[in-house]
Structure 1
Amino acid sequence: MPGSSEGGAGSESYDATPYLPRRGGLPAHRRAAAECRGCPLHEEATRTVFGRGEAHARLMLVGEQPGDQEDREGVPFVGPAGRLLSRALLEAGIDEEGLYVTNAVKHFKFTSDETRKRRIHKAPSLRETLACRPWLMAELRLVSPELVIALGATAGRALLGPSFRVGADRGVPRPLPGAEEGTRVLGTVHPSAVLRARDRDAAYAGLVADLRTAADTL
């Protein structure tokens, strides 16, 4: 149970399972996730950043982890990458109000610069991603979307396994293992990768094209 010594602070089990509630919907899971100590990432992060959006959305978006602004506000995709994603969804003809949006990892992993005035994103490890996966699978079960968009490699590997590669596997809907029959997943780049791209226009166009494929799939 949450707060017990099993999987608690200082544990090396790397497993969020003991913190999941035995019953209840998304609100119950959001409250329980706030107390998760299933891996060491909670020690430096400000808060758990759980998913947001329509409780029975047909489309779920899964990113990597919260960024600096998301960690401070407690809401996924509210930083620069989130604003770019909102623009891309609009261009692809997807109503953002009807979505459920979350991350594969619920705590912000970062390093600090020498002055400690900036927190710099650091990708979560496979071990940390797997530790947090029970929360993601619970969200999938409760929302039961028709289609899941995996934004970037971390989300893709959390959903489809370690063999997932964005470049090779993007833009093609496929069955989602472990989800309800009929649920599919489509991989694409993470919006933050577009912001870092050398040719940002081309990277953005590719993201919009993949989102249009998702819209056509529904």
Structure 2
Amino acid sequence: MSPRTSAAAGAPEEAYTAEPFVPERGGLPALRRAAAECRGCPLHLNATQTVFGAGDADARVMLVGEQPGDQEDRQGKPFVGPAGRLLDRALAEAGIDPDETYVTNAVKHFKFTQAEPRKRRIHKAPSLREMTACGPWLAAELAVVEPELIVVLGATAGKALLGSSFRVGEVRGTVLEREIHGRPERLVPTVHPSSVLRAQDDEDRKAAYGGLVADLKVAARALG
């Protein structure tokens, strides 16, 4: 990767991209092996491991979230923490079998802050630069799985797929048709399941969960 010049500071700035690490063939197994060695941006330095997508390689639905969380980083699998369990419940309630989906994230390494080594690791949202660097992995997953529908989970995934102007509140629960990484795609945006868990009280959490299920039912109807 060659450096480029930062217009703001006039100093060389490394051009982050995962593109050199992405294999041209071999399907999901080859992508997963290669992603484990990705050094396309600095996030790999502190994360435990790469957390690649998982699920049905022939899935009709691909769910795209933000990035791995603490439990995902430790276990090496996406959506295995509390948000993932809530998502599985919401999918089933909406009429989508979680076992027939493919789940992944826009960014494959856990980004966090940590005051001291033994303190809890606090999630930190990835930057646009980090999302862009990781984009070739998501493009490769889409090319292999070829889903009929993409469920966009939250603002970060939306920005990664649809651009920096994406606002989840403006388009959630609707079916969008866009060209993504050179492919015509249908997408249904909704909130990230972690936002349901962050609701302040039981009443708000119930309403937030109901909204997530309602959006996922739109996705289920779009599949026919």
Q: TM-score per shorter chain, which class? A: over 0.9
Aligned residue number for residue 152 of structure 1: 154
Q: Which runs of 4+ in 1 moved over 2 A?
A: 113-117, 178-183
Q: Which amino acid aligns with 2:73?
A: D
Q: How many residues align?
A: 210
RMSD: 1.5
Give the drift of 1:175.
1.3
Aligned residue number for residue 36 of structure 1: 38
Aligned residue number for residue 210 of structure 2: 205
1:171-182 → structure 2 map (5 Å cutoff): 171-178=173-180
Q: Which amino acid aligns with 2:132?
A: L
Aligned residue number for residue 21 of structure 1: 23
Relative to structure 1, the CA distance from residue 130 to residue 179 in structure 2 (aligned partners, 3 Å threshold; closer, same or farther) is: closer
Aligned residue number for residue 106 of structure 1: 108
Relative to structure 1, the CA distance from residue 50 to residue 169 in structure 2 (aligned partners, 3 Å threshold; closer, same or farther) is: same
Q: Is the 8 A contact 2:84 2:193 kept in 1?
A: yes
Task: Output one character per residue of 1:88-140: Cα deviation in whole Å (capped at 9) or x when no partner.
Answer: 11111110111000000000000113463211100001110110011001101
With the length of structure 1 as denominator, give the TM-score of the two structures.
Answer: 0.92
User: In structure 1, what is the Cα distance between the partners aligned to 2:161 and 2:101?
Assistant: 18
1:215 aligns with 2:209: no
The residue matched to 2:14 in structure 1 has which SS?
Answer: coil
The residue matched to 1:42 in structure 2 has which SS?
Answer: helix
Q: Is the 8 A contact 1:144 1:180 kept in 2?
A: no
With the length of structure 2 as denominator, give the TM-score of the two structures.
Answer: 0.90
Give the drift of 1:78.
0.3
Aligned residue number for residue 164 of structure 2: 162
Task: Output one character per residue of 1:146-173: Cα deviation in whole Å (capped at 9) or x when no partner.
Answer: 0000100000111111111011111111
User: In structure 1, what is the Cα distance between the partners aligned to 2:175 and 2:70?
Assistant: 31
Indicate the structure with greater strand content: 2
The residue matched to 1:84 in structure 2 has which SS?
Answer: helix
Aligned-residue identity in percent = 69
1:66-215 → structure 2 map (5 Å cutoff): 66-114=68-116, 116-178=118-180, 183-198=185-200, 199-215=204-220
Q: Is the 8 A contact 1:146 1:182 kept in 2?
A: no
Give the drift of 1:35.
0.4
Give the drift of 1:178.
2.7
Larger radius of gyration: 2
